[in-house]
Amino acid sequence: MLRFHHFALYRYALGAAAAVFVLNLLVRGLLKLGGYPATLLVAIAVALGLRWLFARLEGHLPHRGQAWGLALLYGGVLGLLYLGLWGLMWLKDEPGRMGQLIFVVHYLTYPLSLGLALHLGRRAD
């Protein structure tokens, strides 16, 4: 008999944010992969992993509202972390416009990847 666990969405979001942190350290440190390819690899891996974990633990893919909530919570948690990094960038040296744009693109990759992973391939609710 399968037993499904029901966790609050914020737990998935916090776990995914922690996975982003750890995987970024591994990919950038051990694999020596940097820049946007590293960000894209980590974002896709975490998004697909979270989709799989949610389906495994809850017994179904997230419903439309759950998917939006999960993507927004995940984006919010990472957004807070990225705001801290943004502040550190400004303390060290004012980043140029291109540096700011690259920073925002790196951040947006994570919630957009999760949103796509949760919404693509779904049937209408």
The string of pLDDT tens digits covering residues 43-77 is 999 999 999 999 999 988 999 999 999 999 999 99
pLDDT of residue 7: 80
Q: Measured between alpha carbons, how far is 62 from 83 in angstroms, rounded to an integer?
A: 28
Q: What is the pTM of this model?
A: 0.89
Q: Measured between alpha carbons, how far is 33 from 73 in angstroms, rounded to an integer?
A: 27
Domain locations along the chain: 9-119
pLDDT of residue 6: 73
pLDDT of residue 92: 85
